[in-house]
């Protein structure tokens, strides 16, 4: 049988239909029944397929993913935890407009050693919000590299806080972020940090501090009334805010500056910074000795 004959034969019923009862009666009202289902899960779409019992034609509908249903720290449906294993739980978070999360409060976390999760409900934790942990009783804090911003007063008045590990991605430290942290004697600032807020370490117990390479402006009251003894300043510093070193006359003895003496003399605001003339400035220093 050649191809043309085959087509003619196949279309014969249709032709008969036209001839005998007209077009409208040939297309029947489909009678659909569910032929297959796949339930939606928290993260995956589901599907329902329908097939006509008369002609076998079928179609399918997509069921949207359900999303997690968090109750008491885990999804009631699939069991996924809000916080990955090994990180502190009970803290308060807030969803930001960019889809990431900010830590905004101590919540019911009662531990001494805070280890912040890099993610919450599957999204990155990118901020420590304004005043988030202010006045809390934490002794140590380890912050993940997902965090880029630490807000104003985030840790201020944490009187027991003696150890802080800052994110290696930190770009901005807010005003008074560690002010009045009276047990905080040391902190390492990452090189990504170029923006420091006023009084970030005011009344903290810091004994030494190295400002990251790239910092151009030392904010007002940066280490005012701290116990700072030794300070490293990068060659990028061009300006010092008022009272940056106010109240440090009794302890501050040595400043290690990466630039030359001429560059030092060009720094704007140096004489309003509270730096005593008894302080020894070491020029072209690489780091704190
Ligand atoms: Zn049908
Ligand atoms: Zn779930």
- Structure confidence by residue, pLDDT tens digits, 151-184: 999 999 999 999 999 999 999 999 999 999 999 9
What distance in angstroms lies between residue 64's CA and the mean position of ligand 1's atoms?
A: 27
What distance in angstroms lies between residue 94's CA and the mean position of ligand 2's atoms?
A: 19
> Quick one: which ligand is closest to 51's CA?
1
Query: pLDDT band at residue 26, thresholds of 50, 70 and 90?
Result: low
| pLDDT at 7 > cutoff 80 | no
Task: Share the mean pLDDT of the chain.
Answer: 91
What distance in angstroms lies between residue 13's CA and the mean position of ligand 1's atoms?
A: 16
Residue 225 and residue 27: Cα distance in Å, rounded?
A: 89
- Structure confidence by residue, pLDDT tens digits, 113-144: 999 999 999 999 999 999 999 999 999 999 99
> Quick one: which ligand is closest to 67's CA?
2
What distance in angstroms lies between residue 123's CA and the mean position of ligand 2's atoms?
A: 14
What distance in angstroms lies between residue 49's CA and the mean position of ligand 1's atoms?
A: 14
Question: Measuring CA to CA, how many Å separate 136 from each of 67, 108, 178?
Answer: 33, 11, 12
H runs (alpha helix) in 80-236: none
- Structure confidence by residue, pLDDT tens digits, 192-242: 999 999 999 999 999 999 999 999 999 999 999 999 999 999 999 999 999
Burial 78-113 (b: 16+ CB within 10 A, else e): eeeebbeeebbeebebeeeeeebbbbbbbeebeeee
What distance in angstroms lies between residue 69's CA and the mean position of ligand 2's atoms?
A: 6
Residue 154 and residue 165: Cα distance in Å, rounded?
A: 14
| pLDDT at 65 > cutoff 70 | yes
Query: pLDDT band at residue 22, thresholds of 50, 70 and 90?
Result: very low
Which domains occur in the chain, in start order? 37-67 (no CATH), 78-204 (3.80.10.10), 206-289 (no CATH)
* Under 8 Å between Cβ of 89 and 108: no
DSSP code for 221: T
What distance in angstroms lies between residue 54's CA and the mean position of ligand 1's atoms?
A: 5
| pLDDT at 63 > cutoff 60 | yes
- Structure confidence by residue, pLDDT tens digits, 245-258: 999 988 999 999 99
> Quick one: which ligand is closest to 44's CA?
2
What distance in angstroms lies between residue 53's CA and the mean position of ligand 1's atoms?
A: 6
What distance in angstroms lies between residue 57's CA and the mean position of ligand 1's atoms?
A: 6
> Quick one: which ligand is closest to 76's CA?
2
What distance in angstroms lies between residue 10's CA and the mean position of ligand 1's atoms?
A: 18
């Amino acid at each position: 049988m050649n191809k043309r004959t085959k087509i003619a034969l196949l279309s014969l019923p249709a032709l008969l239909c036209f001839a005998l009862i007209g077009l409208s009666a040939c297309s029947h009202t489909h009678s659909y029944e569910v032929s297959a289902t796949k339930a939606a899960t928290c993260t995956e779409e589901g599907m329902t397929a329908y097939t006509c019992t008369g002609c076998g034609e079928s179609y399918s509908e997509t069921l949207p993913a359900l999303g997690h249903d968090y109750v008491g720290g885990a999804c009631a449906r699939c069991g996924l935890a809000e916080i990955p294993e090994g990180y502190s739980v009970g803290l308060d978070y807030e969803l930001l407009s960019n889809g990431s999360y900010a830590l905004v409060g101590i919540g019911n976390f009662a531990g001494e050693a805070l280890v912040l999760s890099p993610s919450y409900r599957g999204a990155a934790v990118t901020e420590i919000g304004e005043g988030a942990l202010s006045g809390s009783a934490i002794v140590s804090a380890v912050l993940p590299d997902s965090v880029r911003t630490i807000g104003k007063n985030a840790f201020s008045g944490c009187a027991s806080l003696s150890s802080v590990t800052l994110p290696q991605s930190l770009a901005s430290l807010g005003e008074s972020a560690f002010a009045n942290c009276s047990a905080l004697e040391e902190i390492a600032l990452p090189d990504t940090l170029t923006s420091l807020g006023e009084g970030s370490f005011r009344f903290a117990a810091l004994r030494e501090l190295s400002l990251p390479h790239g910092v151009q402006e030392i904010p007002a009251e940066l280490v005012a009334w701290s116990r700072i003894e030794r300070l490293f300043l990068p060659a990028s510093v061009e300006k010092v805010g008022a009272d940056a070193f106010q109240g440090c006359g009794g302890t501050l003895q040595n400043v290690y500056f990466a630039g030359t003496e001429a560059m030092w003399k060009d720094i704007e605001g140096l004489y309003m910074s509270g730096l005593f003339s008894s302080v020894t400035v070491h020029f072209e220093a690489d780091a704190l000795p």
